[in-house]
Amino acid sequence: MRTLFLSTITFFFFISCSRVHPPQSNDRDFDIQKIKHMLFEQERYAESISEIEKSLSKYNEDSTLFYLRGMAYLNTKQYEFAMNDFIAAMRMDPQNPLPYNGIGNIFYLKFEDHLAETFWTNGLARAKNPAERAMFLANLALLAMNEKKYDEALKLLEEAKKISPDGRYENLIGRVYVLMKNNKKAKEIWSNALANNTLPWAQYNFKHNTAFRLCELYLDEKNYKEAFQFCEMALLMYPASPDYQKLFIQLKQKLK
């Protein structure tokens, strides 16, 4: 589950960052939106660190910027730096749930599920808006999945989806069904999610990951035509992925 989770760490950040220091300004808002776009849509993690540091030179007590830099470090596997930034953000604003999310992510990636649960549960207790609550519910669903408590994981994800609809929850629900050996249900969920033009995808990596997972399920069935279709979809959404590139070439050769 950790490798499955690693490519989607940023799923656990939501755009709700209302607790900031100092008070918001138009320039700061522009900087934050630019950084979010680089982090969560373009996946330009190293470059986003540079942008955050420029903003921190102007807003050096902004907990949101420290949290965002922590998420960037997390995605580049610089866990010590990430932890330092999350702790700084937490001390600046103890009631902000987002640093608890980040710290929990680090412990999760280090296979310290009990520690992750402690921070995610405390984050959930501080979460005020639906998007934040959904984030922590999904976090806790990951822990349930690791313990093979699939019914509990589905219940948490369905609740998250209900209060804050997003394609990422469809992605995770499909993963639970794969773990339950119900690939038919997983394919149905993922296909419907990709076909639903009204479904929001707060993070682009979840959308192309969903297409690639469908490709893998069809590949297991030796249905190379359908597998190729979804592999191509994933590749067109994220051409930089070596996994997508490699499988696309393999499937192209099989269909000759």
**Could you list the mean pLDDT of each consecutive 10-residue stretch along the chain, which spans 256 residues?**
43 37 58 73 76 79 86 91 95 93 95 97 96 94 97 98 94 97 98 96 89 98 97 96 96 92
**SS3 breakdown of the chain: % helix, strand, coil, rounded to 5?**
75, 0, 25
Of 97, 128, 159, the one marking the end of a domain is 128
Q: Are residues 102 and 86 in the same domain?
A: yes
Q: Are residues 215 and 193 in the same domain?
A: no
| Cis peptide leading into residue 239 (ω within 30°) | no
Reported pTM: 0.81
The tokens describing 251, both together, are 């499937």
Separation of alpha carbons 196 and 167, rounded Å: 9
Query: For position 4, what pLDDT does the model report?
Result: 45
Number of compact structural domains in the chain: 3
Separation of alpha carbons 65 and 149, rounded Å: 36
Of 86, 102, 128, the one marking the end of a domain is 128
Q: Are residues 69 and 116 in the same domain?
A: yes
Q: Are residues 139 and 228 in the same domain?
A: no
Query: For position 2, what pLDDT does the model report?
Result: 53
Q: Are residues 180 and 211 in the same domain?
A: no
Query: For position 44, what pLDDT does the model report?
Result: 80
Check residue 93 and give left, alpha or beta (phi > 0: left; psi -120 to 50: alpha).
beta
In 3D space, the residue among 230, 126, 168, 144 whose CA is nearest the CA of residue 9 turns out to be 168
Q: Are residues 135 and 169 in the same domain?
A: yes
